[in-house]
Chains A and B, each alone.
Chain A
Amino acid sequence: MNPDTNLVPTPSQTVGPFFRIELTTDEHCVRCVVGPQAKGERVWITFRVLDGDGTPVSDAMLEIWQADFNGKYNHPDDSQPKPLDPGWIGFGRLATAEDGSCVLETIKPGRVPNGTLQAPHLTLAVFARGMLKQLYTRVYFAGDAANENDPVLQLILPERRDTLLARPDPARPGYWLFDVILQGDRETVFFDV
Chain B
Amino acid sequence: MDSDVRTRVSVKAYARLPKGSQPPSLYKPYQATVKRAPLKPLVLLPHTLSEITGPVFGHEKVGEKDNDLTCQHPGEPIGERIIVSGRVLDSNGRPLPNTLLEIWQANSAGRYRHTNDQHPAPLDPNFSGAGRAMTDEHGAYRFITIKPGAYPWFNHYNAWRPAHIHFSVFGAAFISRLVTQMYFPGDPLFEYDPIFQSIPDERARQRLISQFDLETTQPQWAKGFKFDIVLRGPEATPFES
Is B230 at the interface (CB under 8 A from chain A)? yes
The interface residues of chain B lying within 8 Å CB-to-CB of A79 are 9-10
Cross-interface CB contact of B22 among A6, A11, A73, A123, cutoff 8 Å: A11
Cross-interface CB contact of A193 among B37, B175, B178, B231, cutoff 8 Å: B175
B39–A187 touching, CB < 8 Å: yes
Cross-interface CB contact of B9 among A91, A113, A127, A191, cutoff 8 Å: A113
B208–A9 touching, CB < 8 Å: no
Render A1-40 as a binary contact track against B, CB cut-off 8 A, 1 for contact: 1000111111111111111111101001000000000000
Is B218 at the interface (CB under 8 A from chain A)? no
B130–A22 touching, CB < 8 Å: yes
Complex Cα spacing A190 to B207, Å: 27
The interface residues of chain B lying within 8 Å CB-to-CB of A46 are none
Beyond A11-B199, A117-B7, A192-B44, 13 additional pairs, beta carbon < 8 A: A5-B92, A9-B178, A12-B180, A18-B112, A78-B49, A89-B56, A112-B48, A115-B1, A123-B51, A132-B33, A156-B43, A190-B38, A191-B45
The interface residues of chain B lying within 8 Å CB-to-CB of A53 are 35
B25–A17 touching, CB < 8 Å: no
Complex Cα spacing A78 to B7, Å: 13
The interface residues of chain B lying within 8 Å CB-to-CB of A21 are 104, 112-114, 128-130
Task: Determine how close the nearest CB of chain A comes to the CB of B161; give it in whole angstroms.
Answer: 9
Complex Cα spacing A80 to B10, Å: 9
Q: Which residues of A in the span 99-157 have a Cβ within 8 Å of any Cβ on B?
A: 112-118, 121, 123, 125, 127-136, 138, 152, 155-156
Is A57 at the interface (CB under 8 A from chain B)? yes
A128–B36 touching, CB < 8 Å: yes
Cross-interface CB contact of A12 among B11, B93, B178, cutoff 8 Å: B178
Closest to B205 in A: A11
A9–B42 touching, CB < 8 Å: no
With an 8 Å Cβ cutoff, the count of chain B residues facing the other chain is 89
The interface residues of chain B lying within 8 Å CB-to-CB of A130 are 30-37
Is B190 at the interface (CB under 8 A from chain A)? no
Render B98-125 as a binary contact track against A, CB cut-off 8 A, 1 for contact: 0000111000000011101100000000
Is A165 at the interface (CB under 8 A from chain B)? no
Q: Which residues of A in the span 28-87 have a Cβ within 8 Å of any Cβ on B?
A: 28, 51-53, 55, 57, 63, 65, 67, 73-80
B166–A9 touching, CB < 8 Å: no
B33–A192 touching, CB < 8 Å: no
A182–B104 touching, CB < 8 Å: no
Is B81 at the interface (CB under 8 A from chain A)? no
Q: With A17-B114, A113-B8, A115-B7 as given contacts, are A89 and B55 in contact (CB-CB < 8 Å)?
A: yes
Q: With A18-B117, A89-B55, A132-B33 as given contacts, are A11 and B104 in contact (CB-CB < 8 Å)?
A: no
The interface residues of chain A lying within 8 Å CB-to-CB of B112 are 18, 21
Cross-interface CB contact of A14 among B35, B195, B201, B204, cutoff 8 Å: B195
A78–B21 touching, CB < 8 Å: no
B54–A75 touching, CB < 8 Å: yes
The interface residues of chain A lying within 8 Å CB-to-CB of B229 are 10
A183–B39 touching, CB < 8 Å: yes
Complex Cα spacing A118 to B11, Å: 14
The interface residues of chain B lying within 8 Å CB-to-CB of A117 are 2, 6-7
Q: List 6 A-B contacts (CB under 8 A).
A: A8-B18, A11-B21, A75-B53, A78-B53, A127-B179, A131-B33
Complex Cα spacing A20 to B113, Å: 10
Is B223 at the interface (CB under 8 A from chain A)? no
Q: With A10-B180, A187-B40 as given contacts, are A67 and B230 in contact (CB-CB < 8 Å)?
A: no
Complex Cα spacing A124 to B108, Å: 35
The interface residues of chain A lying within 8 Å CB-to-CB of B222 are none
Q: With A115-B7, A183-B37 as given contacts, are A22 and B132 in contact (CB-CB < 8 Å)?
A: yes
Is A94 at the interface (CB under 8 A from chain B)? no
Interface centre among A12, A13, A76, A79 (most CB of B within 10 A): A13
Complex Cα spacing A4 to B11, Å: 25
Is B158 at the interface (CB under 8 A from chain A)? no
Task: Determine how close the nearest CB of chain B comes to the CB of A182; give it in whole angstroms.
Answer: 5
